[in-house]
Structure 1
C-alpha cells in the first residue's frame, strides 16, 4: 500500500465511506490515476507548508511573549550582563541584532554577547531585538521585539546636601578630616555629617579631640551627640574638649609618676593589674566627671536642661614604654574602641557597648547617675601590647553598617575585612589609608559609603 492509497483510503473513511472487497480493483485503478497521485502530492505539500507556517507564527509569538529580564542598573555605576540565549530558550536564533544603546553609556558586544558600560542617567533603556530563527526562509525579514533595561537613580543622588547654618549659636563644620602626628604615632581622623542630617540642613552631632600630654602620654576622645537632644552637637564638643583639657592640665609628670611606675611593674608582674586600674581609675573617673560638670555648667548658663546636650563619650590614653604600649580607656555609650593586631592575629575590644536594655536605650555622659552605679568602674580598661596595634575609635554611624552587632567587634576576620575596605576594597575603590597628598580627601570620601538604612553621622579615628 503506497502513500497515495493510504491517504485516499483514510480520506474516504473520514467521510464514512468503506471499500468493499469486490471494489478493490476499481479502487486501485482510481488511486493510480495520474490526477489523483498529483492531487495527493499537492495536498500533502499544502499540509506541510501550513504546518511550517503555523510553527513559524507560533514560535514568533512565543519569542515576542518572552520576558527578557535583564538586571536593573544604577546610574553612574558600572553595568555588565550577558545576553544568554540558552537561559531564554533562544538556541534556535540564526541571526540577530540588538540596538538602542545610543547616548546611554552602554554598548553591546555581539562576540561575547555582553551588555556593558556605565549608564549615564536613570530611566528605561529601550532596545530593539531584531532576529530570525530556524525554519524561516533565508531571505525572511527580521522579526522585532522591544526589550528594556531599567536604570535606577543612584540612591545617593536622592539625598540633599543642605549646608547647616553657619550663623547658629552652636554651629560646627559639617565635615572634617585630618592626618596628624600624635607622639610617635600617626593619627587619621574624620567626622562626617550623616545623610539624614544633610538632607534637612541640620548639624553634625559627632565630635572628637586629641592631644599630646606630658610624660609621653597622648589622649584621643570621641563622642556621639544624641539625635533626640537639640544641642547634642555642642554636648559632644564639650565632652571631648573637657577630657582633653583635664588631662592637659592634670596629667603632670608628678601626678602620673605612680601610674607609670605601676605600668612598668606590670610588664613583669601582671598580678598588679587590679592595683594599676585603681590608680588609673582615679584619673579616668576625674576626666569623665569633668566632662559631665562642663556640660552641666554650660547648660545652666544657657538656661537649658543638661539633657539637651546628651552625648556619649569614649576616650583612650596611650603611651609607649620600653617594652611596649599602654592603653587606658573609659567609655559611656555606644562608641566602640578596639586594639587590632596589624597582622589580624588578635583583637582586643576596649569597652562593652552601653546600649541599655532595649534598642536606642544608650547611656550618656550627661546622665549623672552613671557615676553612682555599682558597675561604674567596669567602664575602665587597661591593655598592654608589645607591638603597636591599630587603635580604633568609631561612632555607631561606622559601627552599625560595618560590624552590625557587638559580637563582631571581637572577630579578627571582621576587622580584616574592615581594614581591607579602608584600603580600597570597596565599591568606589577609595583607599582611605593611603599616604599620598589626598589622604584626607580620600578618608572623607570613604566616609560617604552607601549602606541602606544607615545614614547617621560617622566619625572614625585610627591611631597607628
Structure 2
C-alpha cells in the first residue's frame, strides 16, 4: 500500500509539473497531498494498467522496477488526460520567469496581418460652424509617402457641405451643428481604391447658445429691456437708444444702462447723458437712472436760465477773454450736477436700507450748442465709455479720457471722493470746432467692441467705420427704433448693455 501510494503521488506530481510548470516545489507538494487529486491519479493508474496488461509479455515494453525510496519519473501525454476541475492552467508566457528558467519560443510565427500591408491615409480639414461660409482644402497623406487623391466623399447626412474632387475641397454653409461622419473613397495609383471614415465637427452658431430670460416684472427697480428717444425739431436732431446686453438676457437680469437727452428751443442748448450701472452692484440700474435724470434735469434747468444766456454769449464771442470765463462756469455747473446726483443716490439708499455703493454708476455728459457750421460742446467724463466730436471724415476729437482700471472691466464710479478730488476739473473738456458732423456719447458696451482699447479710441479710422455703419440708421423718422435694433450687433466676448446718444 505504501508503494502504491508513493506511485500515485509520483504520478500526480509528474502530471502536475507537466501541466503547470510555473508551480514551485512547495506548491506541487501541496497539491500532490490532496485526496481528491490522488483519487483521480489512482483511477488513471488502474485504467492504464488494464490497457497495458496485454503488453506485459510483449517485447515492446521493458519495465524496470524502482525501489520504494526512489521517485519515479512519468511522462504523461496531456491530450490523454482530463484537466482538473478545480485547477486553472495559466499560459507560461503570461507569467514572469523564475531564476534560471529559459523562456519558451512561441509556436506561432510572427506574420504581419493582411491589413498592415494595406496603405493607410490621414485626412485633415477645418471644423465648420453653422451659418458661416465654409471652405477647407483637405490635406491628405499616406504612410507610404505616395500622393493621395480623394475620389468621392459621402456624408452621414446632408449638412450643407459638399466635396469638389477637382479642387479636393469641402465647401458650403452648414445648416446643422453636431458631429458627423465622412465616408471617403481614395486612391494612390488611380487603380485600387480604398475607404476611410473620418469625423467632421460643425460647431453651433454662438448666437444660438444665448438664452433670453425675462427679468421679474414685479421687481422694485423694474426696467425695460430697451429704451429710446428722439428729438427732431428746428434743425436739431438728437437720438438715444439703450439695449439690455446678452449677458443679462442669458441670466434674466435687468439692463443697468440709462440715458437722458433734452433740447431747449429758446436757449438752443442741448443736453446728452449716458450712464452705466456697475454690473457687480445690486441696485446699479437704479443708480444709473437716478444719476442721469438728476444731473440731466439740473443741467437743463440751468441752461434755460440766466447761466445759459451768459454762456451762450461767451461761446458765441469765443475770444481769449471769454474763453477764460467759460471754463470755470462749466466746472461749477458739472460739479453741482454731480453732487446733486450723488446726493439723490444717497437718499435713495437710506430710504431703501441699502448701501450707497450698491447704486454705483458711471456718468458721461455733454452740454452743446450749434452756431451755423460750428459746434460748441462742454463734456464731463466719469468712468469708461467714450465721448467724441466727429467730423469731417478722418478726424475725431476725444472729449476726455476713460477711467480704466488695472484689470478689464475696472473703472471709476460717481461718488463724493471723485467729486472732491483735486483733479475733478480734468474730467471736463470744452471746445468749439467747425465741420463737426456728429457728437457721440456711448457706454463701454459700444466702445469696447468697436475700439477695444483706450488707444483705439484715438484712431480716426475706427470712428469712420462706426459712423459709416450707423448712418443708415439715422433717418429721423425712425432713428430711435433703428438704432435700438442696431445695438443688438454680435461681437464675440462683448455682451454688456449698450447705450448710445448722438447729435447730428
TM-score normalised to structure 1 length: 0.75
Q: How far off is 1:178 after superposition? A: 5.3
Does residue 318 of structure 1 match 2:335? no
Partner of 2:446: 398
TM alignment of 1:156-195, pairs within 5 A: 156-177=207-228, 180-181=231-232, 184-195=235-246
**Would the aligned equivalents of 2:237 and 2:476 in 1 still touch at CA under 8 Å?**
no
Does residue 308 of structure 1 match 2:363? no
2-side partners of 1:179 and 1:104: how far apart?
45
Q: How far off is 1:101 after superposition? A: 6.8
Segments of 5+ residues of structure 2 without an aligned counterpart are 1-111
Aligned counterpart for 2:436 among listed residues 385, 388, 401: 388
Per mean C-alpha deviation after superposition, the further-off stretch among 171-180 and 382-391 is 171-180
Partner of 1:96: 151
1-side partners of 2:162 and 2:476: how far apart?
35
Does residue 144 of structure 1 match 2:195? yes
2-side partners of 1:105 and 1:131: how far apart?
22
TM alignment of 1:7-22, pairs within 5 A: none
Does residue 259 of structure 1 match 2:311? yes
> Deviations along 1:94-127, whole A, 9 cap, x unmatched?
6711221743122234455443222122112312
Report the secondary structure of 1:378's partner residue. helix
Q: 1:435 to 1:69 in 2, by over 3 A?
A: farther
- The alignment's C-alpha RMSD in Å is 3.1
Q: How far off is 1:204 after superposition? A: 0.8
**Would the aligned equivalents of 1:320 and 1:326 in 2 still touch at CA under 8 Å?**
yes
Q: 1:436 to 1:299 in 2, by over 3 A?
A: closer
Q: 1:181 to 1:451 in 2, by over 3 A?
A: same
Q: 1:143 to 1:204 in 2, by over 3 A?
A: same
TM alignment of 1:18-417, pairs within 5 A: 61-63=119-121, 66=122, 68-83=123-138, 92=147, 96-100=151-155, 102-134=157-189, 136=191, 140=192, 142-177=193-228, 180-181=231-232, 184-213=235-264, 214-266=266-318, 269-270=319-320, 272-322=322-372, 324-344=374-394, 346-355=395-404, 360-365=409-414, 367-417=415-465
Larger radius of gyration: 2
Report the secondary structure of 1:148's partner residue. strand
Q: 1:352 to 1:87 in 2, by over 3 A?
A: farther
Segments of 5+ residues of structure 1 without an aligned counterpart are 1-53, 424-430
1-side partners of 2:300 and 2:457: how far apart?
31
**Would the aligned equivalents of 2:303 and 2:309 in 1 still touch at CA under 8 Å?**
no
Report the secondary structure of 1:61's partner residue. coil
Q: How far off is 1:87 after superposition? A: 12
Partner of 1:454: 494
Q: 1:189 to 1:322 in 2, by over 3 A?
A: closer
Report the secondary structure of 1:215's partner residue. coil
**Would the aligned equivalents of 1:263 and 1:276 in 2 still touch at CA under 8 Å?**
yes
Q: How far off is 1:168 after superposition? A: 0.6
2-side partners of 1:436 and 1:209: how far apart?
18
Q: How far off is 1:228 after superposition? A: 1.8
Q: How far off is 1:257 after superposition? A: 1.7
